[in-house]
Structure 1
């Protein structure tokens, strides 16, 4: 797949992810953040499995070729990401929680990419990542804002989980169709969170609002978004993919401003511009450099 097209797919996935915090904010007050995460994985995993069956994809792949360790780590990472991210959003707010979670992921991904694949970050990636994170910091600055330390820690934990998932998923798509791989990962992650269905109140699911939130989070922000993301990982570095995911906090911020009525300052606008600049810089690939993309 063309590298530029792959980057566009990642940006589309990131925009879809950027709606998750807002979706939770619009959910019923009875919906616990951990329960929302469990429902998201269940609906997403089942949607992916159903899509594979409808398209007659071979879910029963050769077990000997399955990257068991990467699949296990990816599933555990996604299972951990859900409660960490949604809890962080509750404690710090949609904008802050999303900014810190995804803003911390590029640096963590760069470190993991170096450890796992011995791939040193390029100057282009470093510059784009620094610019993007600086922009995220500007987006966080608001008058009279107080950051919940525990929520901040949860957001960083979510960022680490996402970075870990992206790093190991690079291995998975080498052996398994991206859609099949995503279905295996998210179905396994959903199984890991089954206890949450018995620990938290799930009555909110029977309402129209609950059903709408569950379908949006499961089908659009999980099944569709992660298939796009996994497909793109075939021709894009894991660290590059995570940096492009900075489009997620920008989406969350814009939705927070225009849909949830959150305040906007000049510094915030400058921050959004910086993130857009970093994404444009990282997405742009001159013809002379297209062949320089190294497949991991």
Structure 2
């Protein structure tokens, strides 16, 4: 995690004034980030309930379009945010929206080429690394030994958890294009997390920032959704899945994620969201009846240790109030 304060990775200290309310305390630090990751962890289980034949990319684009536009329409200050921004900040909004739109465009094709396990490990495992590197390049904020150790443990645990079944079974040839697409998804995630965090620490409301980024991204991917097969949306099951993903894994999750970025460095936030595959694995066992080998359970334990270390690190670096 960065060793010195920078506008790209750290939240500004709260101004002097009345003591923050209990609600403010609950919305600060790792709690909303971890809650977002839990919601994202339900994506795979929910998507598996979609009608047979529904394209994975179409499901992702539909949830982003519906959830993003809803986030924009219900976020206070979202409509006036571009006018309140400086010219450089407006360019950041454009880049952030492109990064948000780039995630489903790259991640879901990566899943089709490499499978859910490999794509998840590469995308989520590379995001904290990209976030740390981008923070270093753009703000000169070098990662600390604590952040490096905790993130390494979390990424290792994530790898063992998700790839455990493949490590104990038959392996399949690696698709290099799929690997590259998954890495691009990780870069997209890291980029919009850093951009959102920077705009928020500049004093713009987190709800407005997330509303603009995701609303614009939803419009960007709308044409892609329309050119794919959309018949599944007309079914009851398809509509329920799309609405659930839009409301909980986009609208609510990213609203909470924006609140978390107020007090959590983006490089740390992307590491904390490695909770997502752990939640997905537990749901797979309890809801879908999947079985995990010993390697995956060991990975889950290592991942939990890394997340505990990251949470402690967040508490140690939060600004005093």
- TM exceeds 0.5? yes
Alpha-carbon distance change, 62 to 34 in structure 1, aligned in 2, over 3 angstroms: closer
Residue 125 of structure 2 contacts residue 274 of structure 2 at CA under 8 Å; is this kept in 1? yes
* Paired position in structure 1 for 2:9: none
Match of 2:196 in 1: 169
Aligned residues: 289
1:148-192 CA-partner distances (Å, limit 9, x unpaired): 423333222211110111111112213421111111111111121
Structure 2 vs 1, CA of residues 103 and 195 (structure 1 numbering), >3 Å: closer, same or farther? same
Pick one of 29, 35, 53 that aligns with 2:58.
35
Q: 1:239 aligns with which of 267, 285, 290?
A: 267
Q: For structure 1, which runs of at least 5 residues remain unmatched after alignment?
A: none
Distance 2:255 2:181 in 1: 25
Runs of 4+ in 1 over 6 A off after TM superposition: none
Instruction: Give the aligned partner of residue 225 of structure 2.
Output: 197
Cα gap change, 1:26/1:62 in structure 2, threshold over 3 Å: closer, same or farther? closer
Counterpart for residue 69 of structure 1: 91
Aligned residue among 280, 289, 308 for 1:252: 280
Match of 1:45 among 41, 52, 68: 68
Structure-2 change in CA distance of 1:294 and 1:119 (3 Å): farther
Contact 1:182-1:227 at 8 Å conserved across structures: yes
Over 3 Å counting, the alpha-carbon distance change for 1:190 and 1:74 in structure 2 is: same
**Contact 2:78 2:211 survives alignment (8 Å):** no
The answer on whether the counterparts of 1:236 and 1:293 sit within 8 Å (CA) in structure 2 is yes
Aligned partner of 2:241 in structure 1 is 213
For the 8 Å contact 2:197–2:261, the answer to whether it is kept is yes
Corresponding residue for residue 150 of structure 2: 128
* CA offset digits 1:242-276 (Å, max 9, x no partner): 11011011112222333334331111111000110
For residue 157 of structure 1, what is the aligned residue in structure 2? 184
Alignment CA distance shift 1:294-1:69 (3 Å) = farther
Aligned to 2:14: none
**1:47 alignment partner, SS class:** helix
Report SS of the residue matched to 2:29: helix
CA contact (8 A) 1:13 1:226 kept: yes
For the aligned residues, what is the CA RMSD? 2.3
Q: Where does structure 2 lack aligned partners over 5 or more consecutive residues? A: 1-23
Aligned residue number for residue 267 of structure 1: 295
Using the TM superposition, give the Cα deviation of residue 285 of structure 1 relative to its aligned residue in structure 2, in angstroms.
Answer: 5.2
**Contact 1:21/1:89 (8 A) holds in 2:** no
> Where do 1:178-197 residues align within 5 Å?
178-197=206-225
Q: Is the 8 A contact 1:94 1:256 kept in 2?
A: no
**Partner secondary structure for residue 284 of structure 1:** helix
TM-score under structure 2 length normalisation = 0.83
1:146 aligns to 2:172 (yes or no):
yes
